[in-house]
Amino acid sequence: MSTALYNVADQVMEYMAKQDTESMIRSLLDVAGSVDHLLTCNGDTALMIAGARGYVRVAQNLVAAGANINKTNAYGWTALSQSAVKGHFAVRIHDS
């Protein structure tokens, strides 16, 4: 993944974590049409990035908005596997 693209995706997640996540998710839906829109060239979605960064509230809101918890990136990683490998065990991603 390009460093510049990764940094942009990271900045979006940091912003979502600090702001009103629900309005950010609505914006993502308006712009991309799906909460599962790929944000990086490696196929990471917003949920995957939120999980890898430990943004629990963002991840919960994305799942509530219909994010696919089983979607994999180009390397076969799901949001849950990225979360676990980074040590963010508070991010428990599951269907409601």
Domain count, the chain: 1
CATH code for position 67: 1.25.40.20
Could you report the per-residue pLDDT of 58-89, keeping only the tens digit for each? 888 888 888 999 999 999 999 989 888 888 87
| Separation of alpha carbons 59 and 50, rounded Å | 6
Q: Report CA-CA distances (Å) from 20 to 3, 45, 86.
A: 27, 19, 25
Of the spans 28-42, 47-61, 62-76, which averages the highest pLDDT? 62-76
Q: How far is Cα 24 from Cα 3, in angstroms, rounded to an integer?
A: 23
pLDDT of residue 1: 44
18's enclosing H/E stretch is helix 3-18
Q: Which domain holds residue 18?
A: 3-85
Domain-embedded: residue 57: yes
Q: How high is the pLDDT of residue 74?
A: 93
- 20-24, 33-37, 53-57, range with the lowest pLDDT: 20-24
Please report the DSSP string for 31-67 in residue order.
Answer: HHSSTT-B-STT--BHHHHHHHHT-HHHHHHHHHTT-
